[in-house]
Amino acid sequence: MNATAKPRARKAPAAARPSFEQMLALVLDRAEDCLQRIIEIPREDQEWSDEDEDIDSAMSLALEQVLQMKEHPPCDLGDFCTRWSRAAAVVKLGCKTFSRQSCHYRWCLEDPRAMFDQLADLVEFAD
């Protein structure tokens, strides 16, 4: 080897990105878990208002949509985006109707709201 020659750096093989089906399964499992947890949060809150019952229905409706997607997976990205947007809209509208802005449950509602935005991006970049 020549004294001035530089050794070639070996490139590590690029890791394969997850397939659409793999990413979809991951995203739907995460969404189901997140929505189940928010539905099961005990409300020992003395200030719970009957006005806030709509949030329970909204989260349950979003969970139903996610479970339907698990049972009958979207065939392509367009179908996924349409069905995912429906569930996300229900969650976002439900969060907006929650009456008390400064309570623990309100803070917990931010998790599913943000999750729907973030997880959709993951599926878009799957192979």
Residue range 85-122, pLDDT digits in tens: 999 999 999 888 887 777 778 888 888 989 998 988 88
In this predicted structure, the answer to whether residue 7 has a pLDDT above a threshold of 70 is no
pLDDT of residue 73: 94
pLDDT of residue 123: 86
In this predicted structure, the answer to whether residue 14 has a pLDDT above a threshold of 60 is no
Residue range 17-42: average pLDDT? 90
pTM above 0.85, yes or no: no
Compute the distance between CA of residue 68 and CA of residue 61 in angstroms, rounded to an integer: 11
**Dihedral of the alpha carbons of 22, 120, 71, 87, in degrees to the nearest 10:** 170
Half-sphere exposure of 7 (CA within 13 A, CB side): 3
- Categorize the per-residue pLDDT at 4 as very low, low, confident or very high, splitting at 50, 70 and 90: low
Percentage, residues of the chain above pLDDT 90:
41
Compute the distance between CA of residue 108 and CA of residue 56 in angstroms, rounded to an integer: 13
Compute the distance between CA of residue 25 and CA of residue 35 in angstroms, rounded to an integer: 15
